[in-house]
């Protein structure tokens, strides 16, 4: 009795798929065609080829090798390491295939993949569940390659600027050099020149030291402003100590002003630079006399204001004492 192959004749919608048993032996099982699965398989291959994985077009590779290789290629394009050899061996056992798929499935949650996929789904070629993952990997890898291309472009531009110079850049550099030269000339022309020097340390008050320093360099556009004004004396004040404190504060400011003037007077006796001409020395002396005269006027005005304040304070104190109780 001759043996007859029962799988030699089968219906058009029946396809024999290669499977392996527990011992790794190849067996043939019956698998019915699914139009949805077939369409998703074709979509996966087209997506991988469109992303740049042209190995999926090789006719000699199995569908499992194409899908696993494409997924591994996309994951590595996203800068994630996968311990998978892209050069697969043919006719792998079930254990070897599951080991490959497990390595891929472990990486997907690390990449924050929104779709879940199990190793047996990849090994069993469940294209309906594989397609969303492959589509997401292709999109993610394309975005990562675009960002990497932008970084490489910027790096190339910076390296070009370090070693090469365009004609327009050379002209701009020359213009910038001329501008810096003109700025340096202006700074040298109008640099502050010291006209007086102090022989003493001067007061510890910051404002007084600032004023003395300004006078040393010929600046006289400042005014001495007292912190106590006549308008601050309130006729409704209830304590004589308020007037006494205000007067003491005004006297202290007048004393500081006199000390400031004294330091400036000492500066006049300091020897000038021997490089000054006679005309420059005359101009410097006139400038000092004008400054001294302005300081004298400010001192006299301050003394008159203090006298007025003293009189008003005394008047208010007497009025308070003479008020009937």
Do the beta carbons of residue 23 and residue 17 sit within 8 Å? no
52-104, pLDDT tens digit by residue?
888 888 887 788 888 888 888 888 788 776 665 544 555 667 777 777 788 88
Answer yes or no: is pLDDT of 271 > 50.
no
- Cβ-based neighbour number of residue 209 at 10 Å: 16
Answer yes or no: is pLDDT of 264 > 70.
no
> Taking residues 242-256, what's their average pLDDT?
53
Give 233-292 as a DSSP string.
--TT---HHHHHHHHHHHHHHHHHHHHHHHHHHHHHTSPPPTT--HHHHHHHHHHHHHHH
What is the overall mean pLDDT for the chain?
70
Of the two residues 246 and 215, the one the predictor is more confident about is 215
29-43, pLDDT tens digit by residue?
555 557 888 888 888
Give pLDDT, residue 173: 83
Answer yes or no: is pLDDT of 233 > 50.
no
Answer yes or no: is pLDDT of 17 > 70.
no
Domain boundaries, the chain: 14-159, 206-322
278-325, pLDDT tens digit by residue?
777 777 777 777 776 666 666 666 667 667 777 777 777 777 766 665
Give pLDDT, residue 86: 47
Give 191-242 as a DSSP string.
--------SS---S-HHHHHHHHHHHTT--------S--GGG--TT---HHH
Does the pTM surpass 0.85? The reply is no
Give pLDDT, residue 324: 63
125-162, pLDDT tens digit by residue?
888 888 888 888 888 888 888 888 888 888 888 888 77
């Amino acid at each position: 009795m001759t043996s007859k192959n029962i799988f030699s004749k089968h219906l058009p919608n029946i396809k024999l798929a290669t499977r392996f048993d527990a011992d790794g032996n190849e067996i043939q099982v019956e698998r019915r065609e699914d139009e949805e699965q077939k369409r998703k398989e074709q979509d996966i291959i087209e997506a991988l080829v469109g992303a740049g994985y042209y190995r999926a077009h090789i006719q000699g590779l199995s569908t499992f090798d194409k899908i696993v290789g494409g997924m591994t290629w996309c994951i590595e394009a996203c800068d994630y390491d996968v311990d998978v050899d892209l050069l697969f061996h043919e006719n792998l056992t079930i254990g070897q295939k599951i080991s490959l798929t497990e390595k891929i499935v472990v990486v997907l949650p690390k990449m924050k993949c929104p779709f879940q996929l199990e190793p047996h789904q990849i090994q069993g070629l469940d294209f309906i569940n594989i397609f969303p993952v492959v589509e997401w990997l292709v999109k993610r890898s394309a975005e990562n390659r675009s960002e990497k291309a932008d970084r490489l472009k910027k790096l190339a531009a910076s390296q070009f600027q370090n070693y090469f110079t365009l004609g327009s850049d050379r002209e701009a550099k020359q213009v910038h050099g001329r501008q810096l030269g003109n700025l340096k000339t202006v700074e040298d022309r109008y640099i502050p020149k010291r006209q007086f020097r102090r022989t003493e340390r001067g007061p510890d008050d910051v404002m007084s030291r600032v004023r003395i320093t300004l006078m040393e360099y010929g600046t006289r556009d400042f005014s001495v402003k007292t912190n106590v004004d006549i308008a601050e004396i309130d006729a409704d004040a209830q304590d004589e100590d308020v007037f006494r404190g205000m007067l003491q504060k005004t006297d202290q400011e007048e004393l500081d002003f006199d000390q400031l003037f004294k330091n400036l007077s000492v500066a006049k006796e300091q020897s000038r630079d021997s490089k000054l001409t006679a005309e420059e020395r005359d101009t410097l002396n006139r400038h000092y006399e004008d400054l001294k005269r302005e300081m004298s006027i400010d001192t006299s005005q301050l003394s008159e204001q203090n006298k007025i304040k003293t009189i008003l304070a005394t008047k208010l104190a007497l009025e308070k004492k003479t008020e009937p109780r």
